[in-house]
Amino acid sequence: MPGRRRGRRHLWFFDEGTIGMDGKTSRDRRREQVERAADGYYFSAQQQGIDNRCRERLIRRCMPFVPPGAEVLELGFIDGQWTDQFLARDCRVQVVEGAERNVAYGMEKYRGDARVRFVAALFEDYDTDVRHDVVHMGGVLKHLAEPRAFLVRAARWVKPGGILIATTPNARSVHRRLGVSMGLLDDIHGLSDTDRAVANLRHYDRDGFRALLEGAGYHVVALGAAMVKFLSSQQMTDYSDALLDALDRLADDMPDMGWYLYAICRPADG
């Protein structure tokens, strides 16, 4: 069985909470939040343009750790940018995605490709008895109310010898520091309008990200950064690939200031 969801009738992983004045539970509000993010940012010109071009450099850094033919659990999908790269390595991919629009897009995109399967579920609701060579959390942890507890549970989804790939925006990135200097952010860990639009709850710096992962029982094999962004995405739309590649190489010299962090981890008992 590829996965299962547990509800209040089946032992939900997190409490639905009390019903508010609007008649909605915390789960109802969480699901609405996910759908708003899908409608407001995903598949926008920015997301499918400069943001995906920057993310491409991040993915390139992580893919050498993925064994060809691996069984992959992909938590979060958006438009299949990571999925395409897993498939290029002849992997089989189980996708878990909370936004119905993204699931519908993915099922249509990979129609007839038996290597890709979809489960429509909030990350907090998902569980499985199946273990995978690779568990991928692309920008997931910044959305979760209890990221450490989720990481602890996810360790059971990694095969012995397998890896977790976790990525997250870097709170100490140059463009966030610049935002603070310009008065656009209160501090580097603060939330921007874009963060709120995509339902981000927090940001990590390298030390905080490592502490989260190690505190959840993982051994961090590699921790690095991709891309140095001096400006916002909107101001970078016409950057050439050569310039983006140069900015990515610069992150090797300035890892504390890179745009996105990536960690390759193994569960402590794996």
**What confidence tens digit (pLDDT) does each residue in 220-260 have?**
999 999 999 998 888 889 999 999 999 999 999 999 999 99
The answer, as to whether pTM is greater than 0.75, is: yes
DSSP string, the chain: ---EE--GGG--SS------TTS--HHHHHHHHHHHHHHHTTTSHHIIIIIHHHHHHHHHHHGGGSPTT-EEEEE--TTSHHHHHHHHTT-EEEEEE--HHHHHHHHHHTTT-TTEEEEE--GGGEE-S--EEEEEEES-GGG-SSHHHHHHHHGGGEEEEEEEEEEEEBTT-HHHHHHHHTTSSSSTTS--HHHHHTT----B-HHHHHHHHHHTTEEEEEEEEE---SS-GGGGTT--HHHHHHHHHHHHH-GGG-SEEEEEEEETT-
Q: Is the pLDDT of residue 15 over 60?
A: no
- Label residue 202 by pLDDT band (50, 70, 90): confident
State the average pLDDT over residues 193-215.
85
Domains in the chain, please, with CATH?
4-267 (3.40.50.150)
State the average pLDDT over residues 38-64.
80
pLDDT of residue 7: 34
- Label residue 32 by pLDDT band (50, 70, 90): low
More confident residue, 16 or 14: 16
Q: Is the pLDDT of residue 165 over 90?
A: yes
- Label residue 101 by pLDDT band (50, 70, 90): confident
pLDDT of residue 41: 60
